[in-house]
Structure 1
Amino acid sequence: MSKNTAPLPVKEYLRTLEPGAHGGLIRKSSQEHAIPESEILDASASLNPFGTPFEYSYTGLKLKSLLDKGLEKMEQYPDNRYLEFREAAARFTGMGVRSENIIPGNGSTEIIRLVAECVIEEGDTVLIPQPTFSEYEVQCKVLGANIRYIRQEELGVLDEDLLEDAKILFVCNPNNPTGILFTREQIAEMAHKCAKHHTLLFVDEAFIELADHSQSVADMVEGNAYLFIQRSLTKAFAIPGIRMGFGIASTAFANVLNNARLSWNMGCIADTVATALLNMEGGVDSKYLVDSRGLIETERAYLMQKLTRRGFKPFESSVNYIFIDISEFSMNSTELAERMASHGVLIRDCSSFQEIGNNYIRVAVRTREENERLVSTIKQVINEWGKQQAESMLETNLAKAADCGRLGSNLSCEYYPCHFEGQDCTFCFCPFYPCKDERTGGQWIESSSGGDVWSCLYCDIIHKPEVVDDVLSVLVKEGRNKESIKKAWKNALETRL
């Protein structure tokens, strides 16, 4: 067998494995659209919009000092016990959690992989509600698990027959991408059902510090060996470039996971920085995190109000991102995300989430200035797209009219009659827009995002058959250009106003 045809030395089922899709692709977008990275607004990655703790003197944290301290240990292996980190994580979590319950991790993905490696055998079934974080699926597939998808709504009324055959049930709380937060009582009920059937309940609390940390169930792990909690520091402290997080489990379960995890899974920089962050005075109720939650609440309300327009339907959220239904908008999520990226603003196209289609996007809650830019860019993209659609439709209708004359009433249009019964729809998109001539019935109105926009709602002259005939006599003969538009206006409309 030749080198080129030799099979790969990997498990058969891994040959078709695809990585999870994520936001935060700043460099890729910069390269594709020739926009400097510094000029890109990333509303696709859901980081704390308040910025890092190092930007606020009251935290007492200085990044350079921490980096220098961490680098002093560069020439030695880290202490694989990570004692200071685990003690700080326990204090930060509170709720009676002890250092013996803490499992250090190099971010969420490594923690998910560790738990999957320790629990799943090839062929086991795991339950993943949809839509949710894609890494649960990816990391379990690496171990050869069978994925069974359920809907988020099913979590409230868990079918115990499902649990009977499942090794793990993943619950993201608050959920990514929907922002829905389950209460402690709801999670506790799930945990009870899972323990009854020896199914591990993996609760991902990566965003809970930015939502309502009182809904955490971290205090329940010691009494339930089938409950595991995941925390991620990169979201709450807005530093995804330094990978750090931790798991919380019963003492016995945590001991197994700590023995099984990769040795030195946190480097000296991550260990030093993470320990300092976790030791911040006040823990989850530090001034920094309280201020962060306050900003998120204010800016989320602002974005919700601004995004409820033009076919956008934002879902209520508990955290620093908003899930938006755009199914009533005529552009799908992939095209919208691509058009936004071309203007230097990244949003999350949710079509990569299982069984969700291309009708949903997710946007991060940012600062007011950034949110205003996000809203402004959405408006710009919609206007550009609308003009392109209008141009295309106008050219198509002119081509048809050149062969058979005016097109008459479009009775199949869901908006017919948008002006009057018997209207001619050849110029659904007006060749004179915006004419800015109020004699037509058109007028300036205030747009939902502020400013004035020209409205044709009360203009019907371009839909009168005799006007359409006169306009076509010019545009069909001379083509559509500046001069012919002026001539058609003068011949067909000016005399009738």
Structure 2
Amino acid sequence: MKWPSHGSNPQHLFKSMGLALPEKYIDFSANINPIGPPPLLKEKWNDFYQEITVYPDPFAEKLKSRIVESEQISDDTILIGNGGAELITLVARFLQGKKVIVVEPTFSEYEKACRANHCEIQYHQLKEPNFVLSMDELRPSLPSADALFLCNPNNPTGIQYSVSRVLSIIEECEKQKCFVILDEAFYDFLIDYHSFIPYINRFSNLIIIRSMTKMFAIPGLRLGYLAATPDIIVKLSTLQPHWSINTIALLAGELCLQNKDFINKTRSYIREERERLFTFFNKNNFEITPSQVNFYLLRDPFLKDQFSLFEFLLHQGIIPRHTFNFPGLEGNWLRFAIKSKEENSKLMEVLLEWRQLH
């Protein structure tokens, strides 16, 4: 069976399963902010209409200046992109033909983009159920590698790696002349996060990717940015299509970065709902990963594989993210986003029904 490679767009999942898409369903497969976009975006939306006849700023200077102010770095260390996907693609082009390590399980786009650019891929597989990242286990692979992809906090597990562990990896990779591509797409969902962006001034091998579509719930607009040394930024920018970020996305990004209260509100909500959900899962003997963000992996430990649970949920209008295309998971877990209180309660209701039947 050919499984969809991403969450969201559930019609493709149901088609691959040979099922009709129900009229009512809850999509837990897309891990964006359940609160939705910042209210200020809706207030200003009509104003954006006046700008669609204007070519976007190819240098994204206004948005870049807001990021520079927030992160306290120079503007020549930032590259704005059309979502994390474009930035990953640019990095893969930059690494064309190189030897790349991907720390798995993780976002499939790293491998896909690198293979399209004729890179040699090597997996560093973390072991379930705790998915511990060990420097001792990783170190032997580094001398032969040109780059390493690491997602922190990790997608799909939701696990945050410690500052000391990530720094030790960056330091060791620098010794081995190996780039570290650190994907921080979900960093802003963490309550206490130690930013690695200041380290780009210390490590010439560090490339950081950040998405703005997750926290601000604007995946339809596509927006993100990358931080690295100025020479890397220059090389990546030459690979980027002109005007790849549209005017509306740039304007929305400027507004989103003003919403500190919105971010704090989101973090508090996610933490409360995660604790409520995890209490239920533990009580009813479901195994979960120790996620610290807005999604998590779940499985029924009494099953050999999770396909029967997956199918049951789909018939109940609950759509999780399958994990068949995550190396090392092969469908043995399901990923769920944290949604609204009502939607999370519905998930618990359906899982309780499953538990009573099994």
Change (3 A) 1:142 1:20: farther
Give the TM-score taking structure 2 as reference length: 0.90
Question: Gaps spanning 5+ residues in structure 1: where?
Answer: 1-17, 55-60, 281-285, 387-497
1:33 and 2:20 matched? yes
Structure with bigger gyration radius: 1
- The answer to whether 1:68 aligns with 2:53 is no
Deviations 1:104-150 (A, max 9, x none): 111111110101101222xx221111111111111111011111111
The whole-number CA distance in structure 2 between the counterparts of 1:21 and 1:339 is: 21
Partner of 1:102: 78
Q: Which residue of 2 aligns with 1:165?
A: 144
What percentage of residue pairs aligned between the two structures are identical?
Answer: 27
Structure with greater helix percent:
1
2:322 aligns with one of 349, 358, 367 = 349
Change (3 A) 1:272 1:43: same
Q: Equivalent residue of 2:298, what SS?
A: strand
Q: Relative to 1, partners in 2 of residues 1:270 and 1:134: Cα closer, same or farther, differing over 3 Å?
A: same
Pair 1:255 & 2:234 matched: yes
With normalisation by structure 1, the TM-score equals: 0.66
CA RMSD of aligned residues (A): 2.2
In the aligned structure 2, how far is the partner of 1:371 from the partner of 1:115? 36
Q: Deviations over 1:211-233 (max 9, x none)?
A: 14532201101221210111101
Aligned length: 349
Q: Distance in 2 between matches of 1:279 and 1:91?
A: 11
- Seen in structure 2, the aligned counterparts of structure 1 residues 352 and 329 have a Cα distance that, compared at 3 Å, is same
Q: Distance between the aligned counterparts of 1:78 and 1:211, measured in 2? A: 32
Secondary structure of the 1:246 match is strand
| C-alpha distance in structure 2 between counterparts of 1:290 and 1:34, whole Å | 35
- Would you say 1:234 and 2:213 are equivalent positions? yes
| 1:116 lines up with 2:95 in the alignment | no
| Residue 91 (structure 1) aligns with | 69
Match of 1:269 among 244, 248, 255: 248
| SS at structure 2 position matched to 1:257 | helix
Shift in alpha-carbon separation, 1:106–1:155, aligned structure 2, 3 A: farther
Q: Is the 8 A contact 1:348 1:363 kept in 2?
A: yes
Counterpart contact for 2:270–2:293, Cα < 8 Å: yes
CA distance in 2, matches of 1:158, 1:382: 38
* 1:368 partnered with 2:341: yes
Aligned 1:61-460 pairs, distance under 5 A: 61-63=40-42, 65=44, 67-92=45-70, 94=71, 96-121=72-97, 124-152=98-126, 153-157=132-136, 159-212=138-191, 214-280=193-259, 286-308=260-282, 311-329=285-303, 332-383=305-356, 386=358
Q: Return the letter of the residue paired with 2:254.
A: T
Aligned-partner SS, 2:121 = strand
Deviations 1:193-217 (A, max 9, x none): 1111111100110001001453220
Q: 1:19 to 1:259 in 2, by over 3 A?
A: farther
| SS at structure 2 position matched to 1:271 | helix
SS in 1 for 2:236: helix
CA distance in 2, matches of 1:255, 1:326: 48
Contact 1:300 1:365 in 2 (8 A): yes
Matched position secondary structure for 2:7: coil
Contact between 2:3 and 2:13, CA under 8 Å: does it hold in 1? no
Shift of 1:180: 1.2
Does the C-alpha gap of structure 1 residues 21 and 309 become closer, same or farther in structure 2, counting only changes over 3 Å? farther
CA contact (8 A) 1:314 1:323 kept: yes
SS at match of 1:371: helix
Label 1:156 to 1:366 Cα distance change in 2 as closer, same or farther (>3 A): farther
Q: Quote the Cα distance in structure 1 between the aligned partners of 2:292 and 2:66.
A: 26
Task: Give the secondary-structure state (helix, strand or coil) at the position aligned to 2:214.
Answer: helix
CA shift in 2, pair 1:145/1:380, >3 Å: same
Which structure would you say has the larger RCO, counting Cα contacts within 8 Å and 6 or more residues apart?
Answer: 2
Q: Any gaps of 5 or more consecutive residues in structure 2?
A: 127-131
